[in-house]
Each structure stands twice: as C-alpha cells, then as structure tokens.
Amino acid sequence: MLNPEEIKKIENSHESGVYGKIDIVLVRGEGARLWDADGKMYVDCMGGHGVANVGHANPAVARAVAEQAQQLITCHSALYNEQRALLMQKLAEIAPPGLDRFFFCNSGAEAVEGALKFARPATGRTKIIATMRGFHGRTFGALSATWNKEYREPFEPLVPDFAFVPYNKLERMEQAVDDETAAVIIEVVQGEGGVNPGDGDYLRGVQALCRERGALLIVDEVQTGFGRTGKMFACEHYDLRPDIMTVAKAIAGGLPMGAILIGPRLGEIPQRVHNNTFGANPLCCAAAVAAIDFMLENDLPQRAAEMGARMMDGFKAIESPLIREVRGLGLMVAIELKQPSASYLAQLAEKGVLALNAGSTVMRFLPPLVIGADDVDTVVEKVAEVLPSL
Ligand SMILES: *Cc1c(COP(=O)(O)O)cnc(C)c1O
C-alpha cells in the first residue's frame, strides 16, 4: 500500500504537467460524499467534473459492471450485442423526439468531433457557428468551437470555417447563419464558460433560424444531460428538437462514454465516414443502462430541480459584498464573485466541501444528483463561512 505522500510524489514526478493539482488523495466515494486517505469526509460538488450524477460507487452501476466484466468486455460496433441494443432502446425513449440513431464514443470531445464531422457531408457545407464563452472540448475540432482564447491560441491554426457570436443575442446569430452554414453548436446552459443559462426565446429562435436557412442545430448536452438541470435533458426546458445532440460525462455512471444522438435532418449517413474502436463496448453500455435506469427509477431530474432550488435559495440568502450573482439551472449552480474564486474554493475544500471553478471568478457546484438536503445545507453553510460578510 502506498501512503498519501508517496502517491502524491509519484504523480507529481510523472504527471504531464497540464493539471493544476489539489492536495487531496481520494480513496472512496458513496453518493455525494468522498473520503480522502486520512479518512476526512467531503461533500462533493465537483461530482467528478459533472460525471457522478447517480452518485459515487452507485451499487446498481457497480453490480452491472461486475456482471458484464465477467461476461464480455469488448465487442466492436461491427458486431451486435444485447447491452448496446438495450442502451439504444433506452436512449431513444428518453431523448428529445426524433433523436433515435446513435454513434457511441468515449468522451465529450469525441462526441463533439463526430457531430461536427457528420454535419459537413450531411449539408454539403463547411461553416460552423459557435458561441462566445462556449466550451466543447479540447481536441482540434472541438477546440475550434471552444471560445476560451487561452485554450485555443497555442494550437492555432485550428480547423477553418468556425465563427463565434455572442451568446443569448439572437440578432447576432441571424447575421452569422447563412446558406454556407453547416451547423450551429450551442449549450443550453454554458458550463465551463461560467454557468450561463440560455434564454428560452433565444434558443428557440436559433433553432428556427437553423431550420429556415438549412443549417443543422447541434446541442451540446455533455454537461447538462442526464438530469443535471432538472430535466433529463436541458432541451426539454424549452421543447428544443436538435438535429444532433452530444452527450457524455454522466451517461455511464462514471465509466467513460460519449454519444452522438442523430435526428432525421441528417438523412442517411454513409458507411465508413467515422469509426471508433472502444465506443459502445458492452461494459460501458451495461453501466449506462444501469445508470439511466437508476435516474428514471429515482426521478433524479426532479431531485436535481428540488435540491438545485434549495442550494440557489441558500446561496441567494448569503449576504456578502463579494457576491456578484447567483445563477444556474437545477443542480448546475454558480456563484460569481467580484474577485478570483480560487482562494475561496481552497478554503471550502479545507472545510470539507469540494467545488469547481468556471472561469477565474466563478464557484461552480455540480454535485451528484443524489445529494441529500442535509448535505446541500452543509454546502450553503460552509460557503457562507468562507465568504466575508457585510
Ligand atoms: C466537459 C465538456 C466537454 C468535453 O468533454 P470531455 O469528456 O472532457 O472531452 C464538451 N462539451 C461540454 C459542454 C462539456 O461540459
């Protein structure tokens, strides 16, 4: 057994260097709680960066994984498998209407890559419109649709024919989308970009514009999907019918999986235009089936709506001159400060609450959707303690 100091030393010597590390060695999780190597307990509002919607070490997911691992772990999509069939059936039931064909991969960025690729031959056009503060991943195609200059500039030139417009400003989208536009890619609530909820009229307007001008609407639900915002998919808040939807993060209860959900406007997709070795392996499919069943059986979207409201109300009641705004949807909650959030996040971790940033001044909370009311209250209490009062 390695002790915590040995673990940190080894990781620090061999890590690529791209991750700013937090000084905690995690050992175990259960529901919305985590324990470190010293036995200290944390209420987890990082949620594996938005992955752990069904809770850490979810017993139903653990059982499905253990059983499937002994049956069959790998099975390329060129062959058939029951777990994949079950997952497809389930996704078709819960997805927005029309999204009933799927391409499976292993991450959010990969799902976005595939979505962007599919949009070009389907329309015979090349231009992609993305939004300022949008985030879609860090591989070349996904990065080309990602706004943050820090992420993009060191790697330019990126994929050509991408343009950015301000979020929530329909007239700017109207100016940008034309008869050369293959697709618009957008989040319903911008996640990494600071937890910025989209306006319903805006999002419906973007959809209408895409239909009118022959462009496809790609909705990136990698972070907002699977109950996070208080509906199974954030699209449901505004009755959106995307042509393509990308999902990942929470889909498989913590196992790596991404998926592209494909609607009728893409027509027939030619064989061999895209491919994936690990995608839709029976192990991840079995985990996803168990995770989605758990979400449905326990009505996690409704739970996220209730616990999210409780958390936001709690945050709004905190009287601190440091708070600029509290905003969010369901259990995707942010406090924007008037100062950098890093030192306050560190103090929170010290007090047993883990939370994320989203840009330098935002504290972002993405707890497992199974979080209890008592833990939500603890989070609010600890945040109130670390933010200076009036
Ligand atoms: C996290 C995220 C991605 C990238 O997913 P990875 O699995 O990290 O590649 C893409 N889009 C959105 C909206 C995300 O939140």
Per-residue tens of pLDDT for the chain, all 390 residues = 999 999 999 999 999 999 999 999 999 999 999 999 999 999 999 999 999 999 999 999 999 999 999 999 999 999 999 999 999 999 999 999 999 999 999 999 999 999 999 999 999 999 999 999 999 999 999 999 999 999 999 999 999 999 999 999 999 999 999 999 999 999 999 999 999 999 999 999 999 999 999 999 999 999 999 999 999 999 999 999 999 999 999 999 999 999 999 999 999 998 999 999 999 999 999 999 999 999 999 999 999 999 999 999 999 999 999 999 999 999 999 999 999 999 999 999 999 999 999 999 999 999 999 999 999 999 999 999 999 987
| 261 strand-pairing partners | 102, 245
CA quadruple 118, 123, 125, 130: dihedral positive or negative? negative
Task: Give Cβ neighbours of residue 273 (< 8 Å, ≥ 6 apart).
Answer: 117, 118, 121
Residue closest by Cα to atom 8 of ligand 1: 108
Residues of the chain with CATH 3.40.640.10: 72-297
Residues of the chain with CATH 3.90.1150.10: 4-57+299-386
pLDDT at residue 155, rounded to an integer? 98
Query: What does the alpha-carbon distance between residue 265 and residue 123 come to, in Å, rounded to a whole number?
Result: 9
CA of 385 to the centre of ligand 1 (A): 31
Q: Which residue from 49, 192, 235, 356 has its CB within 8 A of the most atoms of ligand 1, so it is best to mutate?
A: 192
pLDDT at residue 349, rounded to an integer? 98
pLDDT at residue 8, rounded to an integer? 97
Q: What is the CATH number of domain 72-297?
A: 3.40.640.10
Find out if CATH 3.40.50.20 is the number for domain 4-57+299-386: no
Q: Which two tokens stand for residue 114?
A: 């595939």
Strand spans (E) along 221-302: 244-247, 258-262
pLDDT at residue 35, rounded to an integer? 98
Cβ-based neighbour number of residue 133 at 10 Å? 21
Total count of residues recorded for the chain = 390
Q: Which residue from 53, 131, 136, 143 has its CB within 8 A of the most atoms of ligand 1, so it is best to mutate?
A: 136
Q: Which residues line ligand 1 (CB under 6 A)?
A: 107-109, 112, 135-137, 187, 191-192, 220, 222-223, 248
Query: What does the alpha-carbon distance between residue 43 and residue 352 come to, in Å, rounded to a whole number?
Result: 6
pLDDT at residue 125, rounded to an integer? 98
Expressed in angstroms, the distance from the first to the final Cα of the chain is 48
